[in-house]
A and B are shown apart, each in its own frame.
Chain A
Amino acid sequence: MGELVSLRDIRKSYGRKEVLKGISLSIEPGQVIAVLGSNGTGKSTFLRIIAGIESLNAGQVLFTNNSIRIGYVPERFPKNIRFTPVEYLHYIGEISGIPAITLKERIPSFLQRFGLDQFSNRRIGELSKGNIQKVGIVQAILQPPDLLILDEPVSGLDAEAQQELLKILKELKASGTTILLTYHESNIFECMVDRTYEIKEGLLYEGALTKKAKEDLKLIEVKHVESSTIQGWNDILRIEEQADSLLLFVGLENSDQVLARVLEAKGNVVRVVTVEMEEIRKG
């Protein structure tokens, strides 16, 4: 699978404080990636850099295609907007180049899905925090993006809106949208997240496997392949070196590809088994 975005050695400082200390990551199309971390670790900065709305001190953000559509939901959508949700979304749609006829259909539909239709004639600045956040979400998905970036999207959302958002994200994922999100307390997204990362002290660490990944895990044992050959393959979640073999933990979706690449690397595949994470831990 090709890359959608490739981050190379991203560095960002605010004054003397280096927030991101050289982060590299490849994001494949259709993936759902969660970036976790405590407050102030640079998650939002990281997302804004990928969105292209924050400058970086060093490194590169490379998109495979220049015409990639990016949707961005900020952690706090601005509340001083002087338009009603309908007016604002119409402007956003027109500025993005969405045909008027499509807007006429999509705006009421999204407003209705998020229960905003009853507030469609009130100015955004007069709405509650949660409803403002809903407008922030709708502006990002008005035109299905290739890459959707959500910074703490559920902050202020009621349970119903959270479920609706989850439903929409699943629909977007099914239609091929790559999703990159951060969240704190909520784990409603865990069921759809493919990979989690954690930003700690300016560096990005591959995090614990998500519920979905745990269910879809496959183990491939190979002999006669150097671990250095395998390292850097993004589709391998973990590598364990045994006395005379390597154990590769791969998501089910990627296992065929990994197998093919192992064979190309002239390694002997000893066994391929589907395992639960708990079994792996037991050893």
Chain B
Amino acid sequence: MKDLIKYTLHDYLRSQKYFPPTSTYFILILIFYTYKPNPIIDSYAVTALILFVTSAWLCMSVLSLDAPVQRQIMILHIKSSHKYYIAKLIAIWLIAVGLAVFAFVYPLVFGMFAEPVSLKVGFVSLANHILLATLGISIASFFNKSMMESTVNAYGGLVLTLILSFASLGIYKVLPSFIKYVAWLLPPAVSTQIPLIQWDGEMIGELSLIPFIWIFIYSVVLFILFLQVARLKK
């Protein structure tokens, strides 16, 4: 699997398909930090959302690298469609972690914050970036070329899902009480925003961890479903 991850990263680099998502990401981060000083937790919460969308985009472009026949050949060589897709998802995740580190380190290096970042705030913010990146990848995996033949449907479906995930809190508020909990099925991209903004950054114990755990569980469930569906689709 390590070799397929290496192959994927090398192929992605050669393809130059990384350029649109990563350059957009870097530009958005640079624009976001145009003015200083910035509030630490709120700024990191916003850049994590930018990474959420970027990771979904990365996932679409990485999973479209192999033509269908090439994908079939690779699956034959690695002897498992699960291994093939897990390797691809790990490769995407590694790139997304790199981007998360950039979003975390850039404001620190260039002194974009009014005060120093404590270890607790730094840890929670980086974890939030990585969790949202994972969520973005898990959602986008369902809209890749191997799952949907039409590119329009794939990108359209992904954009719609991302919009719904951003609007999930608003949807939750306007829904009648008896169906309110349907909103829990929407991707919980913004669920960590309120607890983070309300957190004073002092004690991790004061931060509600349920939204973070929910994002993790949601992503894992999506990955498992994706692997099962991909195996059936071949």
Q: Which A residues fall within an 8 A CB radius of B? A: 48, 51-55, 70-72, 74, 76-78, 80-83, 91-92, 94-96, 139
Contacts and interface: CB of A to CB of B under 8 A. Distances in A.
Given A55-B234, A83-B11, A95 B77 contact: yes
Given A82-B11, A82-B14, A83-B11, A74 B3 contact: no
A132 to B, nearest CB: 11
25 contacts: A48-B72, A51-B76, A52-B76, A53-B75, A55-B232, A71-B76, A72-B72, A74-B72, A78-B69, A78-B70, A80-B67, A82-B11, A82-B14, A83-B11, A83-B14, A91-B6, A91-B7, A91-B10, A94-B3, A94-B6, A95-B4, A95-B77, A95-B78, A96-B77, A139-B73
A64 to B, nearest CB: 17
Contacts of B15: 82
| The 5 residue pairs across chains A and B that have the minimum distance between CB atoms | A53-B72, A94-B3, A82-B14, A78-B67, A78-B70
Which residue among B7, B75, B76 has the maximum number of chain A CB atoms within 10 Å of its CB? B76
A48 B73 CA distance: 10
B173 interface: no
Contacts of A52: 76
A54 B234 CA distance: 6
Nearest to B13: A82
Contacts of B233: 55
B74 interface: yes
B72 A95 contact: no
Interface in B58-78: 66-67, 69-70, 72-78
Contacts of B77: 92, 95-96, 139
Give the size range of B's interface with the partner.
20 to 34
Interface of B: 3-4, 6-7, 10-11, 14-15, 66-67, 69-70, 72-78, 232-234
Contacts of B66: 78
Contacts, number: 53
Given A80-B67, A95-B7, 10 more contacts: A52-B76, A53-B75, A54-B234, A55-B233, A72-B73, A74-B73, A78-B69, A78-B70, A80-B70, A82-B15
A70 B77 CA distance: 8
Contacts of B234: 53-55
A76 B11 contact: no
B72 A91 contact: no
Which residue among B69, B75, B232, B233 has the maximum number of chain A CB atoms within 10 Å of its CB? B69
Which residue among B11, B77, B234 has the maximum number of chain A CB atoms within 10 Å of its CB? B77
A94 B10 CA distance: 14
A92 to B, nearest CB: 6
A179 to B, nearest CB: 16
A55 to B, nearest CB: 5
Nearest to A76: B69
A52 to B, nearest CB: 7
Contacts of A80: 67, 70
Nearest to B4: A95
Nearest to B68: A78
B74 A95 contact: yes
A70 B76 contact: yes
Contacts of B232: 55
Contacts of A78: 66-67, 69-70
Contacts of A82: 11, 14-15
Contacts of B76: 51-53, 70-72
A276 B162 CA distance: 71
A58 B78 CA distance: 25
A53 B222 CA distance: 23
B158 to A, nearest CB: 23
